[in-house]
Amino acid sequence: MAKFLAIIYEIWNARNLLVFQEKDLPPQEISTTAFKRLHEGILKANVDAHLSSDGHWFSGMVLRRSDGGIVGAATRVHKGSIDVITGEALGLNDVALDWIEKLDEHHVILEMDSQIIVKAIKDKAEIWKNWGWMVRRCIKFLDNNPNADIRWVPRGANRVAHEMAKWAQFEPNNDWSNCVPMCIWLFIQKDKGFVIPD
């Protein structure tokens, strides 16, 4: 029943976006935006980056338990780079991996909407660009933590991290433990109300 309600809500939300904001969401995105329940003891880290008008990259990460409850959130600011992939990789490295290692967590699923980075990590690709060392660090983390994984998700399913990255402009280089800033509170509550069991 919860899965049905989550999908109905997303259909209603997509309809409102189309009618009132003229944004047309593809059906695949509608079905992937609800928080999917993880196995007990596994955490999920959503990571994203946002480029500011002055050339800085802002990164955001939200770490949640299997029930959708908050473990914490973090923001970071990075010196300017015009490369989108580097900006996303900085978020993965400086926010997610640093925070997860600081918490000494080993059962984590990393989610981000950068297909290039996720594919490079999954394929254990040797990248010779400025973001390659961050890919190598994540590969090493996953090799050392067999219960950890990285997954690509569409932007709609990574909305909470995207909003957190935008919030980094107002509260840069900040950490929240067992709470989140108000800018994402409604997204978290919505996700918790529509947790979909496996």
What's the CATH code of the domain at 68?
3.30.420.10
pLDDT grade for 2, boundaries at 50, 70 and 90: very low
Residue 114 domain-assigned (yes or no)? yes
pLDDT digits (tens, 9 = 90+) for 85-132: 999 999 999 888 998 999 898 899 999 999 999 999 999 999 999 899
Residue 21 domain-assigned (yes or no)? no
pLDDT at residue 42 above 60? Answer: yes
User: Do residues 78 and 103 touch, judged by C-beta distance below 8 A?
Assistant: no
Residue 51 domain-assigned (yes or no)? yes
Residue 11 domain-assigned (yes or no)? no
The terminus-to-terminus CA distance of the chain in angstroms comes to 13
The dihedral sign for the CA sequence 28, 151, 184, 195: positive
Residue 182 domain-assigned (yes or no)? yes
Distance (Å, whole) CA 185 – CA 103: 22
pLDDT for the residue 4: 55
The total number of structural domains that make up the chain: 1
Q: Region 49-64: what's the mean pLDDT?
A: 91
CA angle, 89 as apex, 153 and 184 as ends, to 5°? 55
pLDDT digits (tens, 9 = 90+) for 59-87: 999 999 988 888 999 999 988 667 889 99
pLDDT for the residue 191: 72
Residue 35 domain-assigned (yes or no)? no
pLDDT for the residue 33: 47
Q: Which of 20-29, 61-70, 162-171 has the lowest mean pLDDT?
A: 20-29
Q: Which of 19-23, 132-136, 174-178 has the lowest mean pLDDT?
A: 19-23
Phi-psi region of 169 (alpha: psi -120 to 50; beta: other; left: phi over 0): alpha
| 119, amino acid identity | K
Residue 105 domain-assigned (yes or no)? yes
Residue 56 domain-assigned (yes or no)? yes
Q: Which domain holds residue 67?
A: 41-193
Q: Which of 24-28, 78-82, 99-103, 194-198 has the lowest mean pLDDT?
A: 194-198
| 9, amino acid identity | Y
